[in-house]
Structure 1
Amino acid sequence: MSNLDELIRAAKASFIEIDAAYQSADINEKLVMAETRNKAADQLVTLQAKRLIQNASAITDADIAEMKNLKDRIDDAAQIQTALLQFVGLLAKFVG
């Protein structure tokens, strides 16, 4: 499996975990996180659509490990927001 495929797989798994926590948050927490959550979803779709042919070689094992670890750090709303921001920050390196 290429690094690109592995990153997409890890990003999907992380987003599913982050989004499940987001969906369980109360309305006030959702209001704070909605914009970042939606940006994360958009970046995941962009990553899948572009398949990053020109940037695939730039994906490192560290990028993949970071994405995989995001889903393990969610216990409360502050961690959900932090995970969303880290998700967006990591994928921004590849989808702009």
Structure 2
Amino acid sequence: MTRTLPLGLIVYSLVIIWYARHAHATADVVAEHRRRAPWYRTKTQPSFEDMLILLRRQVIASRFLALRAQQPDPTKITDYELAWAYAMG
């Protein structure tokens, strides 16, 4: 119990700081929540749960969208193909 509370406060603080620095400007969390729950019209500010859901989505998206070292960069492939076609044509 002596370690659980400080860890919980640290995680809570990190999620709020992440949301304030990176996600607040780009996300309309309240509108998304109203879309999912149209009966809840009094919501004006995002809750911690909304912030956490957005953070989870960002983490999952970064795992699937990140280029790995063994994967070729699609923009470079296109540039090479265009250069090759220009040189051959």
TM-score, normalised via structure 1 length:
0.35
| Higher-helix-fraction structure | 1
Structure with more contact order per residue of length (Cα contacts < 8 Å, sep ≥ 6): 1
Higher-Rg member (1/2)? 2
TM-score, normalised via structure 2 length:
0.37
